């Protein structure tokens, strides 16, 4: 499934909200399944010399690889998720960033979604001597 492209000018630092919504049999409520967003990558538009660069930003468990700069996915019910990011570029010469994710359907256990819990990473800190 391909999401809608951002077609307006976006500046570095502008807030962008990525959202994923599924409906099952025409209904946003579901008693059997829930979604998990995982294996997200970003890539630039590349060029003939360097090719396309791809960086994983959300891992196979749906957790941010860079939690200090990119939050974990937030879930809004069983079939809806989103993530708020600030626009960035992989390279000063790059004119586009492509954001690609997998959506995994999970069976609910006793009406509960069993998504992995992302552990909080320690923030970078400076030691003053």
78: left (phi over 0), alpha (psi -120 to 50) or beta: alpha
Least confident of 30-34, 37-41, 80-84, 121-125: 121-125
Global confidence as pTM = 0.75
- Hey, what are 116's tokens? 């992995």
pLDDT at 123 over 90: no
115 Cβ contact partners less than 8 Å away, ≥ 6 residues apart: 34, 36, 62, 75, 106
- Work out the pLDDT band at 74, boundaries 50, 70, 90: very high
Residue 82 or 90, more confident? 82
C-beta of residue 35 within 8 angstroms of C-beta of residue 101: no
- Which of 9-23, 52-66, 110-124 is predicted most confidently? 52-66
Instruction: Count the helices and strands in the chain (H runs, E runs).
Output: 0, 6
| Percent of the chain whose predicted confidence (pLDDT) is above 70 | 74
pLDDT 10s digits, 22-33: 876 665 566 788
Domain 15-107 part of CATH 2.40.30.10: no
Residue 85 or 28, more confident? 85
What are the residue ranges spanned by the domains of the chain? 15-107
pLDDT at 102: 95
C-beta of residue 60 within 8 angstroms of C-beta of residue 38: yes
Residue 109 phi/psi, 5° resolution? -110, 110
- Work out the pLDDT band at 82, boundaries 50, 70, 90: very high
- Chain-centre distance of CA 10, in angstroms? 18
pLDDT at 53: 77
């Amino acid at each position: 499934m391909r999401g809608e492209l951002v077609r307006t000018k976006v500046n570095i630092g502008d807030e962008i909200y990525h959202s994923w919504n599924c409906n099952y049999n025409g209904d946003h409520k579901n008693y059997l399944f829930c979604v998990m967003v995982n294996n997200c990558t970003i890539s630039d538009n590349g060029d003939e010399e360097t090719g396309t660069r791809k960086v994983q930003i959300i891992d196979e468990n749906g957790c941010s690889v860079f939690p200090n700069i990119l939050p974990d996915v937030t879930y809004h019910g069983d079939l809806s998720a989103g993530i708020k990011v600030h626009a960035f570029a992989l390279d000063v010469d790059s004119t586009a960033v492509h954001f690609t994710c997998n959506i995994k359907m999970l069976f609910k256990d006793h009406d509960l979604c069993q998504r992995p819990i992302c552990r909080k990473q320690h923030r970078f800190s400076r030691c003053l001597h």
